[in-house]
Amino acid sequence: MVYGQATSNANGIATLYFTDNGLADGNPLLDTIDYAVSSVYSTNATINARPRVQMREKNITGKYVSANVTNISGVTVLGISVLGSENPVSGIVVDFMILGSFHN
């Protein structure tokens, strides 16, 4: 089991590289990524402004996992957001937990 964090970029994508140098060009430390989850923490009082996270990709070679970070914007009627859209959010720290097989 591996735990790590990554910050979302301008496109709302957080990528955790599990390599020997922590970068995209590094050598993978896992043979496979069997399971991965992501989570994000927020104390924002406005529910629509809170970031949401969902898994995006488990790299087939075991190098990285990534997640999309979004929030909702739109018109609010009687406390309900209508005509909303999901927008990427940058600068959000995402927690990842990965289950996989270590490289021999």
Report the DSSP beta bridge partners of residue 53: 69
Encode pLDDT of 21-73 as tens digits.
999 999 998 888 999 999 998 888 877 778 999 999 998 888 999 999 998 87
Distance CA 76, CA 28 (A): 46
The yes or no reply on domain 2-102 and CATH 1.10.20 is no
pLDDT band per the 50, 70, 90 thresholds, residue 83: low
Name the nearest CA neighbour of 12 among 83, 59, 72, 76.
72
Distance CA 66, CA 73 (A): 23
Q: What is the 3-state secondary structure (H, E, C) of the chain?
A: CEEEEEECCCCCEEEEECECCCCCCCCECEEEEEEEEEEECCCCCCHHHCCEEEEEEECCCCCEEEEEEEEEEEEEECCEEEEEEEEECCCCEEEEEEEEEECC
pLDDT score for 44: 81
User: What are the domain boundaries of the chain?
Assistant: 2-102
pTM metric for this prediction: 0.83
Angstrom distance (rounded) from CA 104 to CA 92: 33
